[in-house]
Structures are given as C-alpha cells and as structure tokens.
Amino acid sequence: MKFFLDTAELDEIRDLAATGLVDGVTTNPSLIAKSGRDFIDAVREICEVVDGPVSAEVTATDADSMIAEGRHLAAIAPNVTVKVPLTPDGLKACRRLADDGTMVNVTLCFSAAQALLAAKAGANFISPFVGRLDDIGADGMELIADIVDIYAAYPQFETEVLVASVRHVNHVIESAKLGADVATLPPQVLRQMFKHPLTDKGLAAFLADWEKTGQRILSEAPATHSLSHDAEPARRRA
Ligand code: G3P
C-alpha cells in the first residue's frame, strides 16, 4: 500500500519524507489556504521534496477552464497530478488531461457510481472521502470495499483507489485489509502509526540492559538526524 501525505506544510513533508515511507502528497484548496503559501510555489517545492505523485487541484468549475488550469499545473513538474472534482465537467477535463498524458486524481468521491465514472474517464486515482462519509453517519469503509470490488471486476481499469479524508489509523488498516492502493494521511496519522506502548517499554528495557554492559557498538557516536516528531519517544528519552 502506498502512503501519501495529505498536507501542504513543507516542514511536515520534509520531516516525514526522510523516513522513506512517503510515496506522494495530496493537497487541496483548503490545505493550501491553511498553509498560507502561494499555491504554485508550494506545489513546486513539494515536487522537489517528493518524487511520487503530488496532487494539485484545479479551482475552475467548467471543463475548458479546468483543462487550462490543469495544463498550467502539470507544467510545474513531471510528478504533478491534476486533481479535478467529481462533476460532469471534472470528468470531461479528466479525459482530456489523461489523453494529454497528465496524471489525474478525481476527488470528492462519495459513491461507487461516481468511482465507476471516474475509472471510465481515465483517472489515475479516485479519491473516496471516508471521514466525511463517517461524519454523516454513513460507512466510509463500505464505499472502499465496493470500489475495490468493482475495479477488480474490470482489469482494464487502471484507476488506483486513493483513500482520502482519513481521520485515524483504523481507516488506514481497514483500507489496507480491503486492498486499497493508496491512503493519503494527515501527518499526525502517519506519526500515530509508529506508536505502540509496548515498543516504547521494550526499547527502554533493552537500552537500560545494554547500558549495564558498558559496551558500545561504535567507538565514536555517529552524527545523527532524528525525526522531529513523536515517533521515537523512548529513544529521545533514553
Ligand atoms: O485531500 C482531501 C481530503 O483528504 C480531505 O480530508 O479531513 O478535509 O475531510 P478532510
């Protein structure tokens, strides 16, 4: 399963990309607004940090303007994936951009019917929003199961299921069990995935026992670069 980061925060992307676990990035207009960054500059910088697909969303609502915006965004870097909304105009733009050879992510998907249309329109990714479905009392994971089943029945579809609007680790695990191709994770969800109290406890015990031996593996301490997050609390406490 591929992990994308769902953020436009460069510091977070740099920090987590250093783990080698980040396969791409997704942004949307709300995330760009939250970052306070210039959209084009932010996308360019993210593309320099991450080799995989970086989604940048159009904001026009008619197909011709979406295509023009999409071509402008695609010219920023070869790994830009143009994000279009799941509307009739969005899917028209999807087809044209896909025919240009541009990667397209169809976003704001809330039904299996919509996912079927996006695959027929040549989308590289379909983004079902599981958290927002859960928010209204529906079942986001049921939608992922339906889309995975439908796409599996038609091997000619190359569209990858990109689970979006992820709110917690269980969304990721359930999506992985269903065989979804990608999950786009808010940074705090990826950080949470590292954590288990028994890992912290076990590591603290190993280090305490090792200290008693008085041994060192290396004679000199190597220069270290540790992640500036909570993934390794025991190591930092030790
Ligand atoms: O990138 C789209 C999606 O992941 C948004 O998530 O939390 O705003 O529903 P959320």
Cβ(2) – ligand 1 distance below 6 Å? no
Which residue is closest in CA terms to ligand 1's atom 8? 165
- pLDDT > 90: what percent of the chain? 92
pLDDT reported for residue 222: 75
Cβ distance 42 to 27 under 8 Å?
A: yes
- 83 catalytically annotated: yes
Euclidean distance between CA atoms 56 and 167, whole angstroms? 21
Select which of 2, 34, 83, 92 is catalytic: 83
Per-residue pLDDT reduced to its tens digit, 193-236: 999 999 999 999 999 999 999 999 998 877 766 555 554 443 33
Residue owning tokens 């695959």: 119
For 118, other C-beta atoms within 10 Å of its C-beta total 28
What is the reported pTM?
A: 0.92
Which residue is closest in CA terms to ligand 1's atom 4? 165
Cβ(132) – ligand 1 distance below 6 Å? yes
pLDDT reported for residue 24: 98
The stretch 91-103 carries a mean pLDDT of: 98
Residue owning tokens 């279009």: 84
Domain ranges of the chain: 2-193
pLDDT reported for residue 96: 98
pLDDT reported for residue 236: 36
Dmax over CA atoms of the chain, in Å, equals 70
The angle that helices 140-153 and 169-178 make with each other, rounded to 10 degrees, is 20
Taking the domain 2-193, which CATH number applies?
3.20.20.70
Q: Is the pLDDT of residue 45 over 80?
A: yes
The stretch 72-83 carries a mean pLDDT of: 98
Beta carbons within 8 Å of 123's beta carbon, 6+ residues apart: 94, 98, 104, 105, 106, 159
